[in-house]
A and B are shown apart, each in its own frame.
Chain A
């Protein structure tokens, strides 16, 4: 019964979305206020209906209703409650429903908080949002209905993929989708602006909070995914340049560029059409990411079994959204005349350089990710493009980006002098050079490039913090506006990520050893003893657990207990790593298989600075949220200001 309720709610939501996607557009072009107001009501109704549908599916999962096919395929009555709930989006249909839910919620948020927007702009934004919603709701209903019944209902389900039964991954998809779907609002604003033929500072002020919020969530989502890969895959790495990872990195790069170029539109009334283009591209890349993950066209360590028909649908939708957006852009963008003039050396110039480099990075990732696909289509030969490609292209382009990142905040708008800015960065530069030299001599004398990269990380932190301190001193210790405080935190956070990546990527040590209980091995100044191997029973798995007593200098230091879990329903083994961290380094152990003579393969990693990767990413997101809390950026706040003059 509840499943049918969910199904009907979904059908109704599609009908409402169709109304919301058409009538307000008509109203906006005719100036009919009643039709325009319909958009808000429809957005709220649509959100409510999708919430009902999502609630119905969640209910089916929580109560283990095995008459629903989706629940049978992905759940099991013995599964802990957290994974029953996260199982809702741990599969294709459910995750698409989650996507539709977040989309509808964003639409409702625009309707609720967009009271200050001009009527025409708001109704157009809501209509575009609804049209995207139509695409996804139709996709759900026609190709991936999560409410399909099975008859007769089996006694129990197949269980969730054990790799996904993990707290980190339970919240990874919602955060990632908040990011992906958040860019749909920016996209809707861009399309609405093209329809209106007007982009001005007020528009940028309305768009920026949405972009910023989406960017923060995407940052957190990517970080959580990488953290999950770090501890569950047991390879000691945090980023594998896998197509699925790249799929989330591309919108992040475009979104980061958009975040910065919107500032130029807001403050200087320049770069308008470029910003609109970026908004279209950021969402297109989000959709492309979904397509790559959902269609399974690429070989990936994360690939899930998928149905090509669904991939074709998303591909068609992607072409419609991107192609339609770009066509409208080509038609209307020439009307968007840029305002403010500026010198190449200026804040605007620095932000353009930022955009140029970030977009180049995004294109590099795109090429590396799609090249195997193109080559397969053109020549039929199967290739893969792996980490060496990205290390040889992505990393070098980061260097000028990071070098320039600290200089930008010192440059004034319109025109600036480079030399005084550089002089203010003297201290940061010296600190960075010393850090690189120390890294090159003390930590690892062979890894020169790693030492340089380490220097860059320190440069980012020292430069950002230095600028903050100098500003404090200049203003007599008055706290700067939150948006600028957020910038400092996010920029420094980026530096922390770089340090963590260098530490883990270049300076880690690993050891693989076959040990019998009672044996010891020396590893990186520690003495590791395999105390015992024992069997234990979890809620839906049985496990073998190794107890490794780690001592340093003759004193007991810590105990690591890596496990191998065998999930009884799926007959699948998953290694559970054990990590001891002191926030400067991770001591990381995984348990391999046992052999015939009582030995067990133990793999140990020493990963310097590893926690900093996620700490830094969290700092970046925190910076975004701090900036978001700035009064001037609050959604709807600009409403009381008069509109800037039309751009035409």
Chain B
């Protein structure tokens, strides 16, 4: 086989594989992207009820309540401008605490309560999820002095 033919084969093969991969990536991206909204944005946007998204802010102090069997937790997330009720069934991450930043993924229920499927854990208590930091900044409540 001549080098030219070989190269042609290579190019055809690569283009085919990359084409398949690109189409996989594009369909997967359009279906599986999860947007992040702050409580203020959630109030502004009309979010369809089945759409999975992430929301986050600070866990409002004094808002965390456990159900009788202690498997379900209700709490409020705030960006200091607006507040959203959240319900989560499952074990909360070790760093979940009142007054701390939190990111939850799930859907918005018909009653306006956010049904979280996942609450994200962090390694580090100083860590503020970038989305939450931005949301708080937009609500005008962020102190830059805090690292």
Residues of A within 8 A of B (CB): 161, 163-164, 233-234, 296-299, 301-305, 307, 338, 341-344, 352-353, 356-357, 360, 363-364, 367-368, 371, 381-386, 388-389, 392-393, 396-397, 512, 514, 570, 572-575, 590, 592-597, 599, 601, 603
Q: Which residues of A contact B35 (CB under 8 A)?
A: 381-383
| B95 contacts across to A, CB distance below 8 A | 572
Closest to B10 in A: A352
Please tell me if the beta carbons of B127 and A573 are within 8 angstroms of each other in the complex.
no
User: Does A590 contact B127, Cβ atoms closer than 8 Å?
Assistant: no
A314 vs chain B, min Cβ distance (A): 17
Closest to B131 in A: A382
Q: Mark B16-27, 1 if CB is under 8 A from A, else 0.
A: 011011001101
Is B99 positioned at the interface, with any CB of A under 8 Å from its CB?
A: no
Known A-B contacts A341-B1, A364-B25, A593-B70; A303 and B122 likewise in contact (beta carbons under 8 Å): yes
**CB atoms of A572 and B90 under 8 A apart:** no
The answer to whether B123 touches A163, judged by C-beta atoms less than 8 angstroms apart, is: yes
CA–CA, A575 and B94, complex, Å: 7
CA distance A382 to B34 in the complex (A): 9
Contacts of B147 in A (CB 8 A): 305, 307
The verdict on B46 contacting chain A, using a C-beta distance below 8 Å, is no
A19 to B103 alpha-carbon distance, docked (Å): 49
Contact check, A388 vs B91: say whether CB atoms are below 8 A apart.
no
- Give residues 127-147 of B contacting A (CB, 8 Å): 127-131, 134, 147
Kindly identify which residue among A234, A353, A595 contacts B91, using a CB–CB cutoff of 8 Å: A234
- A383 and B121 contacting across the interface, CB-CB below 8 Å: no
- Which of A301, A341, A357, A601 contacts B122, CB < 8 Å? A301
Q: Which of B17-67 contact A (CB under 8 A)?
A: 17-18, 20-21, 24-25, 27-29, 31-36, 54, 66
With both chains docked as a complex, state the minimum distance between the C-beta of A277 and any C-beta of chain B, in angstroms. 14
In the bound complex, do residue B32 and residue A302 qualify as a contact, i.e. CB atoms below 8 Å apart?
no
Known contacts A386-B34, A573-B94, A595-B66: A341-B3 contact under CB 8 Å: yes
Contacts of A298 in B (CB 8 A): 130
A-contact 0/1 string along B78-97, CB 8 Å cutoff: 00000000000011101100
Query: If A356-B17, A360-B17 touch, does A342 touch B125 (CB 8 Å cutoff)?
Result: no
Contact among B10, B21, B91, B131 for A397, CB-based, below 8 A: B21
A595 touches B125 (CB 8 A): no
A-B contact count (CB 8 A): 145
In the complex the two chains form, is A342's CB within 8 Å of B32's CB?
Answer: no
User: What is the bound-complex CA distance between A383 and B55, given in angstroms?
Assistant: 10
Q: Is the CB of A303 within 8 A of B123?
A: yes
Inter-chain contact A389/B120, CB cutoff 8 Å: no
Assuming the contacts A353-B13, A512-B90, asked whether A301 and B70 have C-beta atoms less than 8 A apart, the reply is: no
**In the complex, what distance in Å separates the CA atom of A302 from the CA atom of B92?**
16
The answer to whether B21 touches A601 (Cβ under 8 A) is no
Q: In chain A, what residue has the closest Cβ to B12?
A: A344
Contact (Cβ within 8 A) B13 A388: no
Indicate if the CB atoms of A388 and B28 lie closer than 8 Å.
Answer: yes
Contact (A360, B36) CB under 8 Å given A302-B123, A392-B27: no
A595 to B65, CA, bound (A): 11
Given contacts A392-B24, A596-B66, A597-B68, 17 further A-B contacts (CB under 8 A): A303-B122, A305-B127, A305-B147, A307-B147, A343-B1, A344-B9, A382-B36, A384-B105, A385-B33, A389-B28, A392-B28, A393-B25, A397-B24, A514-B69, A514-B71, A572-B94, A574-B94
Return chain B residues, CB-CB under 8 Å to A299.
103, 120, 129-131
| Closest 8 A/B residue pairs (Cβ) | A595-B70, A382-B36, A392-B28, A388-B32, A305-B126, A389-B32, A514-B69, A305-B127
Assembly CA distance A270 to B34 (angstroms): 44
Check if A393 sits within 8 Å of B21, measured CB to CB: yes
Q: In whole angstroms, how far apart are the Cα atoms of A357 and B16 in the complex?
A: 11
What's the nearest-Cβ distance from chain B to residue A344, in Å? 5
| Across-interface contacts of B94 in A (CB, < 8 A) | 163, 572-575
Contact A385 B32 (CB under 8 A): yes
- In whole angstroms, how far apart are the Cα atoms of A307 and B31 in the complex? 33
Q: What is the chain B residue whose CB lies nearest that of A390? A: B28
Residues of B with C-beta under 8 A to A381: 35-36
Given contacts A303-B124, A304-B123, A383-B36, A392 and B31 within 8 Å (CB-CB): yes
For residue B127, which residues in chain A have a CB less than 8 angstroms away from its CB?
296, 303-305
> A234 vs B42: C-alpha distance in the bound complex, in angstroms?
31
The answer to whether B24 and A601 have CB atoms under 8 Å apart is: no
Q: Inside 8 A of A514's CB, which chain B residues have their CB?
A: 69-71
| A233-B71 contact given A299-B103, A299-B131, CB 8 Å threshold | no
